[in-house]
Structure 1
Amino acid sequence: MSDNVVMSAMNYDSNRPAASNPVKIMDLSLRDGHQSLFATRGRTEDMIQVAEMMDEIGFWALETWGGATFDTMHRFLNEDPWERLRTLKRYAKKTPFSMLLRAQNLVGYRNYADDVATAFVDRAAENGMDIFRTFDALNDYRNFETVVKQIKKSGKHFQGCMCYTLTEPRLGGEVYNLDYYVGKAKELVDMGADSICIKDMAGMIAPYDVYALVKALKAVVTVPIHLHSHFTSGMASMSQLKAVEAGVDILDTCMTPYAYRTSHPAIEPLVMSLLGTNRDTGFDIRKLAAINEVLEKQVMPKYKHLLDDSKVSIIDINVLLHQTPGGMLSNLVNQLREMDALDKIDEVYKELPKVRKDLGQIPLVTPTSQIVGVQTVNNVLHDTPDERYKMITGQVKDLCYGLYGKTAVPIDAELQKKALKGYPRGEEPITCRPAEVLVPELEKAKAEIGDLAADMDDLLIYAQFPVTGKKFLEWKYGRAEVPDSVKPITMESVKKQDELIKKAKAGELVERKADAPAKSERLRTFNVFLDNEYFSVEVDPTGDAPPVVSAPRAVAAAAPTPVAAPLAPKAAVVPAAAVASPVAEAHGTRMLAPMPGMIIKYLKNVGDAVTKGEAVVVLEAMKMENALVAPCDGVVKGIKLKSGDTVAKGAVLCVIE
């Protein structure tokens, strides 16, 4: 800061009366900030650099855990999620910690049995969690019962969420209207909520709608009201100010480097906007600036390769049309790109609201955003004019059965019947609390993982993520080599990479020789494409032998000679037609991966007989499971993959002959 800015800030402080009703702030930088902007790849070592500084600001809470962090840490960062919680507690000792808990989903993507849910909340509390921000993707609070009981038993703060969504451009309509949210707030109070959060995951809430909603809630409940709104549409900052006018108690913000785009409004402009009012935060802008300095210079450079710099605008008004949260939207784009189908994105946008409506107008938040998003992609890529929902994911089937809870409006009857045909649990949907049909899981998980899980924390990693969790535990205890892809990036490597890029742009990657030979007549020009970059490269063959050029000559007509088909290049994309109709080989029919993903498990072994349409392998794509079926009758052969393997689109999963 310049001396003038410092003096100006000091003058503000000297004339700054304490606010009569200061708005409280929860910082999301260490969880939702990096989850929204760079795929939840923030590492504990980088959070430590600012944890003590953030502890001095006066935040109501720091969101440090939950959401996608648990999955991403063990899967992509080789970090123990429990250790992050314990470590950060040692640096930020005064400010309460908050986590995002997906109710009976915990931090995974399905409802877990009651014994897993109870143990998870207990261990989270013991490891240092103070506030449990709890939501259910369907706003079905029956999924709160088990976790809330344990939150209260642990003596912790239960914040109940209402997932905010719309079926109209603005608040209203027959489903998600003011009465709906007021009713949900009353339910949460009856469950013992210590505070209530309006969870606007897609940034859909308009300023005057939030004003009306906060006013209505304050009129019927006495617990604090908390607003969580992503910046995606560009309305969140305006909505925060109107919420403040309406009497909201707590707001969510991020430090500026982790703010805006699909993340949240920044704290610093809000501090200055409320300065000197009866809602003044009381925060020291100089301390916030010091934190930003560290984040900008010592942390963010490590993650710039993950930031989406393809767009000029920091807002996305399309979210007002498709309502897809930013993180899910980026996943959809990446999935389509990997499938060589990015040109289908507009079709996905058109199909998405149709799928959402068919599935009961469910809110789009994890995991329902993934459920709707992946099914939409499946429809666009695999449906035919005479058949919709040709490839239904396992999660859509679970939703139709009732394993996620009750939808706001009934699921399309035809789709529900199709999804539940041959469903293992039964073809009639349930109406009870979902977890009532789930058998206890911990003992089974303990028997499966054996001594690889040293304690309950390890066991809970495996219980929620059997494939990737086991792989992480093998890394953790030295039973498998840690791949370079999950190791941290250092500032030194960032600087080296920046230097290489600088040299490449200047044409200095190869040292120029003073005695470089003159270009010969054999010089050829090649176009080189590297990712999205294009280079024109001149190549001059060395040696005395001139290039051989065959002159065209007339030949007598002859019968064609059979030749071997050329081998496809390693990175070649298998055409969609080949996936839809697997190629018959001399020794059988290849079953190909219709999309990139990870092998969860094979349902059939080599030598097993299968009939056409019978499930053979479960493939995870975008965290959703797809049961892939046999394209023909026969016997399974040629399985060369195993659980945990990552496959590209078109990979041969097995051969059926």
Structure 2
Amino acid sequence: MRFLYECPWRRLQELRALIPNVPFQMLLRGANAVGYTNYPDNAVFKFCEVAKENGMDIFRVFDSLNYLPNMLLGMEAAGSAGGVVEAAISYTGDVSDPMRQKYSLDYYLELAEELVKAGTHILAIKDMAGLLKPESSWLLIGALRDRFPEVPIHVHTHDTAGAGVAAMLACAEAGADVVDVAVDSMSGMTSQPSMGAMVACTNGTKLNTGVSLDKVFDYSEYWEVARGLYAPFDCTATMKSGNSDVYENEIPGGQYTNLHFQAHSMGLGNKFKAVKKAYAEANKLLGDLIKVTPSSKIVGDLAQFMVQNNLTRAQVEEQAEELSLPLSVVEYLQGHIGIPYGGFPEPLRSKVLKNLPRIEGRPGASLPPLDFEALEAKLKATWGDEITPEDVMSAAMYPKVFQEYKEFLAKYGPVECLNTRLFLDGPKIAEEIQVELERGKTLHIKALALGDLNKVGQRGVFFELNGQLRTVLVKDTQAMKELHFHPKALKDVRGQVGAPMPGKVVEIKVKEGQKVEKGQPLCVLSAMKMETVVNSPVAGTVAKVYVSVASDSTLEGDDLILEINEN
């Protein structure tokens, strides 16, 4: 919905119809379902029910902190829906390193014991950063196999450092039943280890997969062509080979490219090496977390905040009471995603939170049930009676994204009819294209010319539609960035409040003439799913507000947000 403007449920339905006899598996973030926040318990149960009805089979249930109460809720929801429950322990650290014993072998075995007691059908190790080495694979999987001889064991990893095939072979030798791989042309680096390599290395051994290498080659050739279409988003834009620095920064494979894209959009693209170093420091600041969505996002948000504001770990600890830290960091310290193993970092938590409320125990336990009937009625009143149960579920999980998705479709129609290159890059001038809306209904489009940029950052796009001349105004986002002009906050004027990072103003919490206290929230900025609350550096009266939500403007770092006359 967010990037492709497609209905994920429809995609699942179409895939299920085409692939009726292969089990489908999805990730379920425990009590966080498929979001970055907590949902009422009945919403998690309902989501699993709708997913199962639409063709999902196996639910890999995990929690970003390995917080057992969150995991147990997700397992119960998946099991109640009739799904196969695969409880996944998120792996971090190194069980083979005696110097790194916060997440020891005993820690993983005790957690596995609780999950097996709870009735998991499959036990999984989710090595999201690719930190498993052959020796740690032997130790961990061997110990799990000895403790639970009858439970299927599934291992998931990423190949960021280049040791993925070796680690998965060690897991298989130690007793794992399933290891995750990716077809050759889509494997390696932040993806999974090579399927062809695993098939070839086990050929003729007791671990023989029975998969034909010739078929792997044919399959790989198809995806090699498909991968070329997504070149601008490929990790190879930033990684040319495996990066063993992942053993230090522990950035999950699924976050690595997102983090780079996010850093680039915030003007930190040329400082990505610094962002990676800051990621390791941010992780230590937060108490050495298990890092997987959404906890990995919290660490990434803090890392980028540190680089953006030239802050060291020691400076963040020292100045924590004064800093406008990313909202995700503040909410984590409040307890919004659960309780981390070993507890919250102090005195950082007390300095940041001050008088903010703290959540004890499972965060979603106190949320009232979601009224699905009322939500459906509201959606039908807004979008018409064609709203499906799946739409209701999408709106329950991602209310803002669903609204933007429906608004986009109402304005532009079904863009999934466009081929991949056209959707991502647009047509070339004088190029003729055909778009099939449905069988027997094809649009013939020819791009003719682009107009000049107007005062509000739009261009006229001229084209022919079925032989008729048409024009439409399109916002030129790149040109708007280049035309950006906004006064900067002066560093030596305490009452001038500048943006701590680039972003869009999504909420203004004060008005001109209002009295504010030091540390009081003034506004919220958002950039690539990262939100930051800007707090007042002084006590005083708001003299002037320079931004508005309605203007839809994007600020750069240090752009002036408002002025405060100090008391």
Residue of 407, 414, 420 corresponding to 2:347? 414
Match of 2:470 in 1: none
**Counterparts of 1:75 and 1:200, CA distance in 2:** 26
Counterpart position of 2:248: 321
Most deviating of 590-599 and 179-188: 590-599
User: Residues 482-540 of structure 1, C-alpha deviation per residue, up to 9 Å, x if partnerless?
Assistant: 6989965348998987x99xxxxxxxxxxxxxxxxxxxxxxxxxxxxxxxxxxxxxxxx
Q: Distance in 2 between matches of 1:457 and 1:496?
A: 33
Do residues 400 (structure 1) and 329 (structure 2) align?
A: no
Aligned 8 A contact 2:128 2:254 in 1 = no
Rounded to whole Å, the distance in 2 between the matches of 1:144 and 1:368 is: 15
TM-score (norm 2): 0.79
Greater relative contact order structure (CA < 8 Å, 6+ sep): 1
CA contact (8 A) 2:86 2:120 kept: yes
Q: How many residues align?
A: 504
2:469 is aligned to none
What residue in structure 2 maps to residue 432 of structure 1? 361
Specify whether residues 128 and 296 from structure 1 end up closer, same or farther in structure 2 by C-alpha distance, changes over 3 A only. Answer: same
Contact (CA 8 Å) 1:601, 1:618: kept in 2 or not?
yes
- Give the match for residue 191 of structure 2: 263
- The Cα offsets for residues 125-184 of structure 1, whole Å up to 9 and x where unpaired, read as 111110000110110120023322221122210000111101688376331111111111
Q: Which moved more, 1:361-370 or 1:645-654?
A: 645-654
Query: For 1:375 and 1:635, how far apart are their aligned partners in 2?
Result: 30
| Distance in structure 2 (CA, Å) of the matches to 1:649 and 1:495 | 27
1:547-585 deviation digits (Å, cap 9, x = unpaired): xxxxxxxxxxxxxxxxxxxxx99527889x94574989x
> How far apart are residue 111 of structure 1 and its match?
2.0
- Specify the code of the residue in structure 1 equivalent to 2:49: D
Contact in 1 for aligned 2:489/2:559 (Cα 8 Å): no
Which letter maps to 2:35? G
Counterpart for residue 522 of structure 2: 616
- What is the match of residue 250 of structure 1? 178
Counterparts in 2 of 1:493 and 1:107: CA distance versus 1, 3 Å:
closer
**AA of the residue aligned to 1:465:** Y
Q: Would you say 1:489 and 2:420 are equivalent positions?
A: yes
Does the CA-based 8 Å contact 2:489-2:558 persist in structure 1? no
Change in Cα spacing, 1:357 to 1:246, as seen in structure 2 (3 Å) is same
Report the equivalent of 2:482.
Answer: 571
SS in 1 for 2:21: coil
Once the two structures are TM-superposed, the CA of residue 615 in structure 1 deviates from its matched residue by: 1.9
Change (3 A) 1:646 1:220: farther
Equivalent residue for 1:503?
none
Quick check: 1:220 aligned with 2:147?
A: yes
Q: Does 1:139 align with 2:43?
A: no
Supply the distance in 2 between the matched residues of 1:313 and 1:284 (Cα, whole angstroms): 29
Match of 2:92 in 1: 165
1:1-150 matched pairs, under 5 angstroms = 74-150=1-77
Shift of 1:651: 8.9
**Match of 1:457?**
390
Q: Which residue of 2 aligns with 1:274?
A: 202
| Aligned-partner Cα distance in 1 for 2:53–2:143 | 36
Shift of 1:82: 1.0
Other-structure match for 1:32: none
Distance, in Å, in 2 between the alignment partners of 1:374 and 1:101 is 22
Does structure 2 retain, via aligned residues, the 8 Å contact 1:446–1:459? yes
Whether 1:353 and 2:280 are equivalent positions in the alignment is yes
Provide the residue aligned with 2:459 in structure 1. none
Supply the distance in 2 between the matched residues of 1:620 and 1:452 (Cα, whole angstroms): 26
Aligned mates of 1:387, 1:591 — CA distance in 2: 17
Distance 1:488 1:441, change over 3 A: farther
Once residues 482 and 647 of structure 1 are traced to their aligned partners in structure 2, the CA distance between those partners, rounded to angstroms, is 26
- Give the CA deviation at 1:94: 0.6
Asked if structure 1 preserves the Cα contact closer than 8 Å seen for 2:508 and 2:524, the reply is yes
One-letter code aligned to 1:435: G
Query: Structure 1 residues 138 and 311, CA, compared in 2 at 3 Å: closer, same or farther?
Result: closer
Given that residues 604 and 636 in structure 1 are in contact (C-alpha distance below 8 angstroms), is that contact kept between their aligned partners in structure 2?
no
Distance 1:492 1:109 in 2: 27
Query: For the Cα contact (< 8 Å) 2:43–2:370, is it kept in 1?
Result: yes
Distance in 2 of aligned mates of 1:620 and 1:492 = 25
Residue type at the aligned position of 2:541: D
In structure 1, what residue type is equivalent to 2:130? G
Q: 2:59 and 2:404 mapped to 1: Cα distance?
A: 28
1:469 equivalent in alignment to 2:402: yes
The Cα offsets for residues 621-640 of structure 1, whole Å up to 9 and x where unpaired, read as: 34232112356631664654
2:137 aligned with 1:210, yes or no? Answer: yes
Cα distance in 1 for residues equivalent to 2:490 and 2:177: 54
Q: CA deviation at 1:304?
A: 1.5
Amino acid at match of 1:387: Q
Q: What's the offset of the Cα at 1:432?
A: 1.8
Q: Is the 8 A contact 2:165 2:197 kept in 1?
A: no
**Against the structure 1 CA distance between its residues 148 and 607, is the aligned structure 2 distance closer, same or farther, given a 3 Å change threshold?**
farther
Matched, 1:649 2:556: yes
Q: Deviations over 1:242-288 (max 9, x none)?
A: 11111210010111121111101121121122222222111122332
CA–CA distance in structure 1, aligned partners of residues 90 and 320 of structure 2: 29
Secondary structure of the 1:616 match is strand
Residues in 2 aligned to 1:156 and 1:469: alpha-carbon distance in whole angstroms? 26
Distance 2:232 2:177 in 1: 37
What runs of 5+ residues in structure 1 fail to find an aligned partner? 1-73, 501-567
The match for 1:633 is 541
The residue type paired with residue 403 of structure 1 is H
- 1:331 and 1:622 in contact (8 A); partners too: no
Q: Distance in 2 between matches of 1:196 and 1:172?
A: 27
SS at match of 2:420: coil
Q: Are the equivalent residues in 2 in contact too, given 1:610–1:636 (CA < 8 A)?
A: no
Percent identity between the two aligned chains: 30
> Structure 1 residues 355 and 251 mapped into 2: Cα distance closer, same or farther (>3 Å)?
same
Alignment counterpart, residue 110 of structure 2, candidates 175, 183, 187: 183
